[in-house]
Structure 1
Amino acid sequence: MTADTLTDVFETHRPVLLGVAYRMLGRVADAEDVVQEAWLRWSAADRGEVREPRGYLVRVTTRLAIDRLRQVKARGETYVGPWLPEPYVTDFGDTVPDTAERAVLADTVSLAVLVVLESLSPLERAVFVLREAFGHPYAEIAAMLDRGEPAVRQLAVRARRHVEERRPRYDVDPAQRRDLTERFLAAAEEGDLEGLMSLLAPDVRLVGDSGGKSKAPLRVLETADKVGRFLLGAARKGIPDPSFRFLELNGGPALLVLSGGKPDAVFQLEVLDGHIQSVYIVRNPDKLRSLASV
């Protein structure tokens, strides 16, 4: 296999590899590092031992991601305030033509699900991602992880049960979420408390991730009154030279707030029965760098 062919094969599978690594790690930069390491392993691999390139590359990427995840957990990193995954651009284009498959991929990369995945062990997370997001057979996952198939099935059942018990229930209609996001922005900009409150569910939650590096609540806010008043207060303070962009992040519509053309915050809403159930705000500048060129 020539160098050009090696590169072409790897680039064909790069989106899948990045998708696996991001779902495992919740961090774009870490996922890109893992994929780069997978490329080094691929370029140095014995071609005679690689029967199926995609399977080989997914296996290598998954193992590297597990190692990275274990390192993070072993360091016991502390984080200031609530933690949210790094926003991830998810425009699947024509690579996922089937509507049902697109919905599955979007659901497994949502902020709500990724937060739940943080509480799984690295092996449980790997099995969940490979099975639920990418549909790999149990036997194939077992081979990738050097585990017996019965053990992998047990991991899958445990991980799925854990996610289902903790994953909030939301409507996934992107048009409805986009409409509510636009109305949410208009009400906040106009200082319309009544209009904003009409959009919020009574038990709405606001989760702000700043990492202690910018302004955001250090605790989860709950109830429409607290969330609405916080949002209006934040809107009144404003940001210098603001502009706004709608884009698809983590499988759904999101609002990117820019200050002087640079990413300042990401807002994403989860909707249930026509009302906003959760407001996610990412303001940690380290998690917004990948959006500078979007």
Structure 2
Amino acid sequence: MAVTAQRPEFADLLSLETIDRDIFRGSCHDGAPMRAFGGQVAAQAQIAAGRTVEPDRWMHSLHGYFLRPGRTDAPILYLVERIRDGRSFSTRRVSAVQNGETIFSMSASFQRPRDTAEEHQLKAPDVPLPETLRRWWGPIDEAPEYRPFLLIDVRSIPSGAEGAAHRPAFDPALAAADGMPRQNVWVRVDQPLPDDPLLHACALTYLSDLTLASTASLPYGAGPGRVDVVSLDHAMWFHRPFRADDWLLFAQDSPSVGGARGLSRGTFFTRDGQLVASAIQEAGLLRR
């Protein structure tokens, strides 16, 4: 009798084992060879923090620092400190520890949702719909072997993700008059996720780390002596409810590169133009 391989689940990438009160254990897949993918480390740290907070409080912000490269051949311990629980907000600090060293540190804040009359938002850019663009990787069912990134769908605007680089070449026209490199991509988890706001927030952090740092390196990434990027820190703000398994437009720019560091910013919009999250990341730019 033939055995059918079980379809992998994106939620499994963020699953953690409970070791003790406020102590959790996880493992990560490759980002670079033998280096844990930073977006997964940050997302697992969010999961750890969220498990110590009352379920009626949703994560609204996180600030994290990548301190050392994580490895894929050893587990990661997530140690949570309960900094404060107020009437509306809860604050947590998480340390991701591997082989006795802290590889990632994060502060996260949770809020009990509230409705207010005051509201405004940035307008979403006018871009082609994701169905008109080419995806970076094939669907998981068509993959000859399991790769975690096949569980997500990313489509560049304009579609220029060629070869192994998986990102568009720098287009001077996108820099506009202010000189900033820009890139816009549609992203989503390519399978239905459970109705858990924390899981969707963590999934979005995972997705944000795929392209945000590379925005700063777009003008310098082609030809001999190309620039590689290493994430230094990452911050997210979650403004409105959303689903990470629905299409989200990630509009990104880079206001500054200098001192071997590049700053990138991004905003996430739903298909109907709702601004649901913002992200900022600084990366080290390393020339080969």
Normalising to structure 1: TM-score of the pair?
A: 0.26
- The structure where strand makes up a greater share of residues is 2
Point out the structure with max Rg over C-alpha.
1
